[in-house]
Amino acid sequence: MNQFDVCVVGSGPGGYVAAIRSAQMGLKTVIIEREKLGGVCLNVGCIPSKAMITAGHFFHRVNNDAAEMGINISGKVTVDAATLQKWKQSVCDKMSGGVGQLLKGNAVETVLGDAVFKDAQTVEIKSSKGSKVIAAKNFIVATGSRPIEIPGFVIDEKNVLSSTGALALEEIPKKVVVIGGGYIGLEISGFLSDFGTEVVVLEAAKELLSGIVDKDAVQVVVRKLKKKGVTITTESFAKSYKKKGSVLEVTYEVAGKAQVVEVDKILLTVGRKPNSDQANLKGIGLNIDEKGFVKVNAQRKTNIPGIYAIGDIAGQPMLAHKASHEGVLVAEVIGGKNRAYDAKTVPAVIFTDPEIASAGMTEEECKKAGYTDLKIGKFPFAANGRAVSLMETDGFVKIIANAKNNIVLGVHVCGPEASQLISEAALAIEMGATLEDLALTIHPHPTLGETVMEAAEAALGHAIHIIQRPLARASASSNHKTV
């Protein structure tokens, strides 16, 4: 039996980070992975989806924007789906291979196989090569999550696809129905539409991304999707499907009436659930809540001494960067540092077109939290020189602050490179920055980042590149005014 200080189960963005930091702390560390290093994110999630989104966006711009710039392309621009998949896979392989090198370089032992806890001190790893037992003083459970299925739609990755199947299509389908208008569904809808697929989105809620991101941002994305020809139906419920010749006949219900749509593929993206029913976690007595998340405290300790849980399995938000943060935290706790999870915000990004990114609270959340007096500034990308030169002018930056002290409470970006811009906002919220801190920081020109500075100026009532009320009147304006 092999004895370690730390055994990490799962090598996703939480697990491999936890293993590396544990080794850096001088702890003898082993990591167990049943599939590919990097987990879902690097292999069939975050990274491949962004590769496909990049390719789709590039293809769309070549066909729609190049001529306006004076770039003439002779002949029809087409997509070689097989080559596209090969390129996408090369991106994933580079990232997964990089994780392997990092683990090896930090003297982390890697074991491939399916881990099952025998008790709170040992796990058995089963693989095609046989089985082995590993004992450790500390275990970090980072086993992630998987797609949720709904009645009538069993994922087979042939007719009914999860995001994994949608990212591995060897042919661009002519028509697809997407069940679930969440961030995964909309991201995939976007790049498929860019490649010419006719997309129908069925969302059970009244609105897309309801309660997840700023409402104004959602409107911008919905408008762009519809412009691309995507059909969006809300308050609609997928019921069943059947194969009819070469197509799939999907039945769904709207306002109590059954409707049918014929498609080539069905994409099911109604959410993900934690893998807490695996690895015998319940069998060893870990406390798991009604939603399937392992219960943890601020140091990500479970109810069993020496066992920690991080990432998707440890609760919302189910985001890779939150898992990585927790991985470092737990490794340092095991190494003797006094750390706890105390993030003021976990920034979130949706890679739609345009992108949506947020940090902190929405207006509604601010009011629910008791902030009754707000300053809200909004600056459009259409007034930003860099955005105009990129031909990417849809969207805005919106900043919400406490009017009593101007401390920033939330920032919401919808537009080009929103994913890059939101980090400044996250830092501002973590450090308790004020509107003045952002407005008085010199931002380089011409850049998209200037929109953050201008949104802060707008909240203060004196943005330069949009027309506002005179400053004296703005300072005396009533509560909750967006300026």
Question: What proportion of the chain, given as a percentage, has pLDDT over 70?
Answer: 97
- Cα–Cα distance between 152 and 270 in angstroms, integer? 13
Helix-strand-coil percent breakdown of the chain, rounded to 5? 35, 25, 40
How high is the pLDDT of residue 469? 77
**Which two structure tokens, joined as six digits, stand for 292?**
């399937």
Q: Where are the domains positioned within the chain?
A: 2-147+273-334, 160-270, 348-475
Considering only the C-alpha atoms of the chain, give the largest distance between any 2 of them, rounded to a whole number of Å: 76
Residue 157: pLDDT over 50:
yes
Q: Annotated active-site positions, please?
A: 445
Residue whose token pair is 């980090």: 423
- How is residue 144 annotated by DSSP? -
Q: Look up residue 293 and give its amino acid.
A: F
- Cα–Cα distance between 105 and 196 in angstroms, integer? 44
Helix (H) or strand (E) holding 472: helix 471-475
CB–CB of 141/310 below 8 Å?
A: yes
Question: Do the domains 2-147+273-334 and 160-270 sit in the same CATH topology, yes or no?
Answer: yes
How high is the pLDDT of residue 1? 67
Sign of the dihedral through C-alpha 303, 309, 313, 314: positive
Backbone angles phi, psi at 233, to 5 degrees: -120, 115
Backbone angles phi, psi at 305, to 5 degrees: -55, 135
Q: How confident is the model at residue 478 (pLDDT cuts 50, 70, 90)?
A: very low
Residue 483: pLDDT over 90:
no
SS3 per residue for 323-375: HHHHHHHHHHHHCCCCCCCCCCCCCEEECCCCEEEEEECCHHHHHHCCCCCEE
Tally: H helices and E strands in the chain:
14, 22
How high is the pLDDT of residue 2? 81
Q: List all residues 6 or more positions away from 243 whose beta carbon is below 8 Å from its beta carbon.
A: 159, 249
- Cα–Cα distance between 393 and 5 in angstroms, integer? 52
pLDDT tens readout for residues 167-219? 999 999 999 999 999 999 999 999 999 999 999 999 999 999 988 899 999 99
- How is residue 321 annotated by DSSP? H
How high is the pLDDT of residue 477? 47
Residue whose token pair is 């711009």: 61
- Cα–Cα distance between 69 and 233 in angstroms, integer? 35
Instruction: Provide the whole-model pTM.
Output: 0.94
Beta bridge partners of 153: 150
- Cα–Cα distance between 267 and 286 in angstroms, integer? 34
Residue 230: pLDDT over 50:
yes
Cis (ω within 30 of 0) for the bond into 173? no
Residue whose token pair is 């025998």: 118
Tell me what the pLDDT averaged over the chain comes to: 95
Angle of the 183-194 helix axis to the 215-227 helix axis, nearest 10: 30
Residue whose token pair is 């004296």: 472
Mean pLDDT on 267-291: 97
**Which two structure tokens, joined as six digits, stand for 219?**
């409107």
pLDDT tens readout for residues 80-139? 999 999 999 999 999 999 999 999 999 999 999 999 999 999 999 999 889 999 999 999
CATH fold label, 2-147+273-334: FAD/NAD(P)-binding domain (3.50.50)
CB–CB of 17/99 below 8 Å?
A: no
**Which two structure tokens, joined as six digits, stand for 318?**
């189910």
Residue 482: pLDDT over 90:
no
CB–CB of 148/271 below 8 Å?
A: yes
CATH fold label, 160-270: FAD/NAD(P)-binding domain (3.50.50)
**Which two structure tokens, joined as six digits, stand for 100?**
């392997």
How high is the pLDDT of residue 145? 97
CATH fold label, 348-475: Enolase-like; domain 1 (3.30.390)
DSSP 384-426: -HHHHHHT----EEEEEEETTT-BEEEEEEEETTHHHHHHHHH
Length, in residues, of the chain: 483
- Cα–Cα distance between 470 and 462 in angstroms, integer? 8
Residue 377: pLDDT over 70:
yes
- Cα–Cα distance between 483 and 469 in angstroms, integer? 8
Residue 470: pLDDT over 90:
no
Q: How confident is the model at residue 310 (pLDDT cuts 50, 70, 90)?
A: very high
